[in-house]
Amino acid sequence: MSQPLPTPLHRSRSHESAVGHVTGKARYVDDLPEPPGLLHAAVVPSSTAKGRIVSRSAEAARAVPGVLGVFFADDIPGTNRIGPIVHDEPLLAEDTVSFHGQALALVVAETREAARAAAAKVVVTVEAETPLLDFDQAIEQGSFTTDAHVIARGDVEAALDGSHLVIEAEARVGYQDHFYLETHGALAVPNEGGVHITSSTQHPTEVQREAARILGLPAAAVVCQVSRLGGGFGGKESQASPYACMAALAAHKLDRPVKLVLKRHEDMAWTGNRHAFLGKYRAGFDADGRFVGFAVHIYSQGGWSTDLSGAVMDRALFHLDNAYRIPALRFEGRVVRTNLPSNTAFRGFGGPQGVAVVEDAMERAAAALGIDPVELRRRNYYEEGDACPYGQVLSEVRLQRIHDELVASSDYTARRAAIDAFNAGSRWVKRGIGFSPVKFGISFTASLLNQAGALVLVYSDGSVQLNHGGTEMGQGLYTKMLAVAADTLGVELDRVRHMPTATDKVPNTSATAASSGTDLNGAAVRAACETVRERMRPVAADMLGCAPDAVRFADGACHGPSGSVPFADVANLCWVKQISLSSTGYYATPGIAYDPKAGRGTPFFYFAYGAALTEVEVDARTGQHGVRRVDILHDVGDSLVPSIDRGQVEGAYVQGLGWLTVEEVIYDDAGRMVTHGPSTYKIPAVGDVPPEFYVNLLDEAPQPGVIGGSKAVGEPPFLHAFSAVAALRHAIGAYGDGAVELSLPATHEAVLRAVEAVKRG
């Protein structure tokens, strides 16, 4: 019997690790007690972006006091190939080097200092070759990692030929470093032929699989455990695996515990970023500003290996329409291969890069047609029953409702008029206001990944242990899972203990990514709890003298028509009666299927919606700009924990604002990252948070078929930051009559260049 989640006090619970985070008591990989005999590992990186390995020498390194081992590719007992989809990444370089910072060898010593000192003495001679670093040059040379993925509908050429307005332009967006507070790290402990790995990873099952491949062991011999991550944002979905595998390799070879933790500059320089994208498009509109046709070629800067770039490109293509109905279209995307670190997942997973293209077209169309950009967008929204470019039919479409409510609550019309009046009287400082909607698909687009497991154990005293396959990286997943378990079993929150995520408790799990952590794991947790609860129901009914269907589990007790008994008493009696009080739970998202060759299918279970309005101020003398006010209305369904969801919206907006306005990754002509630390790479700080920041969650909007009627919230609100770009364009346009050409990220320098260009006309 399925018992719907009520709306109890559990939903207002604070983050389960909040006290630990603010007091410093929360433990990460490098904070764990050191096991006896712990060794430390250091990576020997390539100082060449491309070349052929001629020779290797570790004699000087082995002579450093405290060094116990130096390992090259030949020392790997299993397969020296890893990768989340395609196994095209050597853990340690074999015959060639493909990017600056690639791991050539691994040094292990008694201390971290000795390991690093010895790593500097390893000599690997590389015959350098000319690397391919330039994005546009790689496209021209046909250097691609993937074949073209095409999604098409209607006759786009005919539609463009018949359009009142055709815009032909390019839209570029840059890299973004994840800049999680905890860098990559892993601790590997050998145990009688196997190895136990504690890793800062979003995907413990992948770490388990890859380490088993490297060591030549069955997966059952490897356990990966994750207590928490100090941030991930996608950067630890696939790229935590190499460092966990290196630690496991050393532990296996030396039969001693080994820890490997990267320094900040190493983490930034060696690991991948958000993919930079280039979109070349032609967009057609009728005289009223409605989309007629859209032809787009998009390219992503993939780096040296496949990683997750193909899947990132897929989601970018799926989001080229954003919130807009487009009758005729052709979208084509390819991943570009270069000699740079392999770029990887990042919050939004390609969706923001796709949206960047269509939002660029909307802004240009509004300017060319003389239509308010907010009104132009409203005229193009999807409606109930419309089909996406890939054929998925939309339901529960909330775009128009969100638009109307946000425009009214933010007082948009009066504020835009006031801004225009201010700009008319201000020479150097101008203000702008911008709007952007969001339609974001929720699910892993690879259907096999849409599954999750859980293990729930109820003890005879009524306390509960909760296990599932999701990882906690600060986003509040554990808090929500505690709420689901407590509500389903009807116990108090403090009676449920959340255990570290581990592959020996729940096998074959998917990464905590794609905003699916709550949907997948929550459904699995509920299923496990329901199984145990229903075993307990007849026992409770006998104690209460009522029919089993009359028993209600809530508030730490089992309630009948004429009384109640404590949940702990029922659990104890179940133990006495030899009734199992543990169960696994499993969930697989239904109906997900997509054919990439046909460009048709249902890649998403549902869509999250939202809209944002941002007001900015720009100084023409310096290009300096700042956000004055933000209004966001976001659809999270029936929120499980509103405080956490609101925080996710706020954080996502600020992180998106960083990507689009201040964060700039730079490589030099040799393929070395220049911006590899906080002194050279700027991320948003407290002063960048808007002084007026209004976030509201859409009321009375439960989502059918999802745990508790809630919706995913991790990635969709990241796209609200596009409203800041629209606002900057409005402010820049007030300086003259020229077209606004604003490059992204819209740094102060980029804004200054755009202002000067507008002034020149």
Q: Where are the alpha helices (DSSP H) in 255-322?
A: 264-270, 309-318
**Burial class of residue 229 in the structure, from the number of CB atoms within 10 Å of its CB (0-12 exposed, 13-18 middle, 19+ buried):** buried
Buried b (16+ CB within 10 A) or exposed e, 105-123: bbbbbbebebbbbbbebbe
Other CB atoms closer than 10 Å to residue 741's CB: what's the count? 14
Alpha-carbon dihedral sign for residues 701, 703, 708, 710: negative
- Is residue 140 annotated as part of the catalytic site, yes or no? no
Q: Give the integer Cα–Cα distance in Å for 216 and 130.
A: 35
Q: How far is CA 177 from CA 133, 269, 499, 627, 671, in A?
A: 18, 10, 30, 22, 16
Angle value at C-alpha 352, between 626 and 308, nearest 5 degrees: 130
Residue 411 makes CB contacts below 8 A (sequence gap 6+) with none
Query: Which of 502, 499, 462 is CA-nearest to residue 481?
Result: 499
Name the one residue in this structure whose structure tokens are 């390194």.
61
Strand partners, 195: 190, 222
Catalytic residue among 113, 359, 715, 756: 715
Other CB atoms closer than 10 Å to residue 396's CB: what's the count? 15
Strand partners, 466: 456, 498
* R_g over Cα of the chain: 27
Angle value at C-alpha 515, between 480 and 301, nearest 5 degrees: 150
Secondary structure string (H, E, C) spanning 22-56: HHCCCCCHHHCCCCCCCEEEEEEECCCCCEEEEEE
Other CB atoms closer than 10 Å to residue 176's CB: what's the count? 28
Q: Where are the alpha helices (DSSP H) in 599-673?
A: 642-661
Report the largest interatomic distance among the alpha carbons of the chain, rounded to a whole angstrom. Answer: 86
Strand partners, 150: 332
Q: Give the integer Cα–Cα distance in Å for 210 and 568.
A: 42
Buried b (16+ CB within 10 A) or exposed e, 291-327: bbbbbbbbbbbbbbbbbbbbbbbbbbbbbbbbbbbbe
Under a CB-based contact definition with an 8 Å cutoff, are residues 259 and 185 in contact?
A: yes
- Which helix (H) or strand (E) segment is 62 a member of? helix 59-62
Residue 685 makes CB contacts below 8 A (sequence gap 6+) with none
- Which helix (H) or strand (E) segment is 337 a member of? strand 328-337
SS3 168: strand
Report the amino acid identity of residue 16. Answer: E
Catalytic residues: 715
